[in-house]
Homo-oligomer: A and B are copies of this chain.
Amino acid sequence: MNVGVIGLGLIGGSTALKIKEIDTNTVIYGLDNDMDSMSYSLSKGIIDKKLDINSIDNLKYIFIAIPVDAIKNEIESILNKISNNTLVVDLGSTKYEICKKVVDHTNRKNFLAAHPIAGTEFSGPSAATKNLFDNKVLILCETEKTDQDLLSDALKIFDLMNMNIINMDSIEHDKHIAYVSHLSHISSFMLGKTVMNKEEDQDTIYDMAGSGFESTVRLAKSSPETWASIFVENKNNIVESLNEYISNINNFKILIENGDKEKLSAEMKKINGIKEILNGIK
């Protein structure tokens, strides 16, 4: 089959590699605005050919893995050019605005909103790996609006990619993902910023940092373009989560200022409950 991949970063590149592994006869047409990513992907065999955006009606699938605001801007134009047998799958980290954008499109049935919970802090096609999606969750939104035959074929592919499907409303998706993903990226970026500002010109101080700091600040290495776009697209939910986060920190700070070890300890004991919850994370 012929498969298009638009956006050859971590997610797009990994999708291309995995699809090729599943069906070695597949021809992967790839496209990226960045010339280095294009040539890297061609030379490493991540894609087979350059995709011509005006000639996409021969493709069975088109996976879109570009920043979420760009998906929103491009999706209608892409849906205009496909055949009846094409399924366009967006792989962005926000879903509501994109679903809204296409809700009345003639080819809505050829669209599937998907979010693989499978990032790392690395980006670009050199970070792509065919095992990125192994045993990871794939959230699908509003699948009832997708042609059921096309959906059924796609589910077989996702199954071969070893992904676990969760169905969810797009509003619910964006609300919860703000808390369990977007907020932790911001907390990590801001931790990085606070420490870097303080320790400017004192690099040796980082010798004092242990694996705890490294783990907490890991996401601060993530792609600025990808995340700026996500933060703005999911603005309302993220601002709500940030307000709650700041309020929690302020209250905790008061306990510290009061030297209230008992309350601090009781509070942290409750939060320790995250242990059991994390054990359930796939």
Which residues of A are in contact with B by a Cβ distance under 8 Å? 69, 117-121, 136-137, 139, 164, 166, 173, 176-177, 179-181, 183-199, 202-203, 205-222, 224-225, 227-229, 231-232, 235, 238-239, 241-246, 248-250, 252-253, 256-257, 259-262, 264-275, 277-278, 280-282
Contact = CB atoms under 8 A, between A and B. Distances in A.
Contact of A191 (B183, B214, B222): B183
Nearest to A67: B261
B180 A274 contact: no
A48 to B, nearest CB: 29
Given A183-B195, A244-B194, A244-B197, A210 B117 contact: yes
Contact of A221 (B181, B189, B235, B272): B272
A122 to B, nearest CB: 10
A264 B217 contact: no
Contact of A268 (B189, B213, B215): B189
A210 B197 CA distance: 29
B206 A277 contact: yes
Copies in the complex: 2
A218 B221 contact: no
B265 A228 contact: yes
Contacts of A194: 179, 183, 241, 244-245, 248
A123 B5 CA distance: 46
Given A232-B256, A265-B228, A180 B166 contact: no
A121 B180 contact: no
Contact of A205 (B176, B219, B228, B239): B176
A197 B278 CA distance: 15
Contacts of A136: 210
A190 B229 contact: no
A230 to B, nearest CB: 10
B199 A232 contact: no
Given A176-B205, A199-B179, A256 B277 contact: no
Contacts of A187: 187-188, 190-191, 216, 249
A206 to B, nearest CB: 5
Nearest to A212: B219
A189 B249 CA distance: 9
Contacts of A257: 235, 239
A128 B271 CA distance: 23
Given A176-B208, A216-B219, A227-B268, 4 more contacts: A181-B209, A196-B274, A215-B215, A246-B253
